Amino acid sequence: MSAERLLRAGTAVVATADRGGRIAAVGIAFGWHFAVNVPGIASGWTDYRVPWASAAGWVLFTVVGVLATARLFYGFAVPVIPLLTVLLIVDVLVIAVTPDGHMFDTPNWAWGTIGWFALLLLYDRGMVALVTVLALNALFGLVGVVAASTEAQGAADLSRFVMYIYGTGVLPIALMAAMGVLRDTAEKAAATEAARAALESERLGAVHAQRERQDRLGIVSEAAGALLHDLATGRADPADLDVQRACALAAGRLRRLIAESDDVPDPLLHELRACVDVAERQGVPVDLIAVGELPTLDVAIRRRLAEPLAATLATARHWARVTVVAQPDEVVVSLTTPATAGPASESYSWPMDGVVDYWYERDEELVWTQTRWRAA
């Protein structure tokens, strides 16, 4: 699997784990709100100082929970701070209407539920905001407990208050912390695995490139060796123009093959300069003109762009002009040189592997060749 695909898979795992945490938070909040709070309100209905206030608070909690759920799963923009304010107001309201003897019972439902609904609003906003809401909830509850407690029950009520705050606050905090750790762990694991896959891909690519370069070096060396053997045995005449062109072509291929392995900012220009250098060593002045910024091209594409022009450049005798025009999605390499030997008129073109197109045109005066790559 490629590093990019592995990174996408890791991102999907992180998103799935995060979605699981959101589903758990929503399920706990609404499960508690319906399964515990509704019976609590019903059982204390006759005891509430203002029953409808508790029922209205339950409805407001439900509305806030629905809006928070829409934000969690669909990214709806909701006013988080005002909605938290609504939760805290309902919390105070329910404490105020709850009878004194039921401060730690289910009729005082908002006190133990606000942490879960605040978690829905603050799921991805950090722990500090949630702890702040729970601290305000504890403060309001403490005021209610002190106001409702009798002198004989004061110490016991404070003890129960501490236990109640711990019981209702630790679970939302634990869930938020666990999901944060799970997300961080999954993201780090995905990033580490993607980096490992990228390194492995680079290693395999380097091995493949090295093997391919050695194969091409063998082919070029064999052709150059045969040419040198003919020269050494007298079968080839150094004064023959065809022999000179063959020598120039072999030298250009060797120089370009060496240039392919160099780590340079513009490898295509670097490889073309290697071919130009061979022609200039034979006394042929060559103008190399580059326009635009070259995109990143792999070795195979650079080879298809340069190879036909290198072969034609090896036949140049008087002058030559190489032009490179680059755009983000297209690179055109052209060569113009005076015609030497060959047919008086010739013109053809063909695509090379559907990636690079090649044109060749010749008349009595000039030879013009062009290779062009376009991004798919």
pLDDT average, residue stretch 155-165 = 84
Residue given tokens 């309902």 in the structure block: 90
Q: Which amino acid is at 133?
A: V
Least confident stretch, 22-31, 89-98, 166-175, 262-271: 262-271
Closest to 218 (Cα-Cα) out of 254, 255, 260, 243: 254
Residue 196 confidence (pLDDT) above 70: yes
The domains located in the chain, with CATH, are 3-195 (no CATH), 265-374 (3.30.565.10)
Distance of alpha carbon 33 from alpha carbon 38, whole angstroms: 7
Residues in the chain: 376
Least confident stretch, 79-88, 98-107, 234-243: 234-243
**Residue 316 structure tokens:** 């140049």
pLDDT average, residue stretch 300-319 = 82
Task: Provide the pLDDT confidence category of residue 3 given band limits of 50, 70 and 90.
Answer: low
The whole-number pLDDT of residue 368 equals: 87
Task: List, in order, residues 6 or more apart from 51 with CB less than 8 Å away.
Answer: 45, 97
Q: State pLDDT tens for residues 228-277.
A: 888 888 887 888 877 777 777 777 777 767 766 656 677 888 888 888 88
Distance of alpha carbon 60 from alpha carbon 315, whole angstroms: 86
Buried b (16+ CB within 10 A) or exposed e, 147-164: ebbeeeeeeebeeebeeb
Distance of alpha carbon 231 from alpha carbon 163, whole angstroms: 100
Distance of alpha carbon 191 from alpha carbon 185, whole angstroms: 10
pLDDT average, residue stretch 26-33 = 92
Residue 87 confidence (pLDDT) above 70: yes
pLDDT average, residue stretch 312-335 = 86
In DSSP terms, which residues pair with 86 in a beta bridge? none
pTM of the predicted protein model: 0.55
The whole-number pLDDT of residue 313 equals: 81
The whole-number pLDDT of residue 352 equals: 58
Task: List, in order, residues 6 or more apart from 248 with CB less than 8 Å away.
Answer: 278, 279, 282, 314, 315
The whole-number pLDDT of residue 349 equals: 61
3-state SS record for the chain: CCHHHHHHHHHHHHHHHHHHHHHHHHHHHHHHHHHHHHHHHHHCCCCCCCHHHHHHHHHHHHHHHHHHHHHHHHCCCCCHHHHHHHHHHHHHHHHHHCCHHHCCCCCCHHHHHHHHHHHHHCCCCCHHHHHHHHHHHHHHHHHHHHHHCCCCCHHHHHHHHHHHHHHHHHHHHHHHHHHHHHHHHHHHHHHHHHHHHHHHHHHHHHHHHHHHHHHHHHHHHHHHHHHHHHHHHCCCCCCCHHHHHHHHHHHHHHHHHHHHCCCCCCHHHHHHHHHHHHHHHCCCCEEEEEECCCCCCCHHHHHHHHHHHHHHHCCCCCCEEEEEEEECCEEEEEEEEECCCCCCCEEEEEEECCCEEEEEEECCCEEEEEEEEECC
Q: Which amino acid is at 9?
A: A
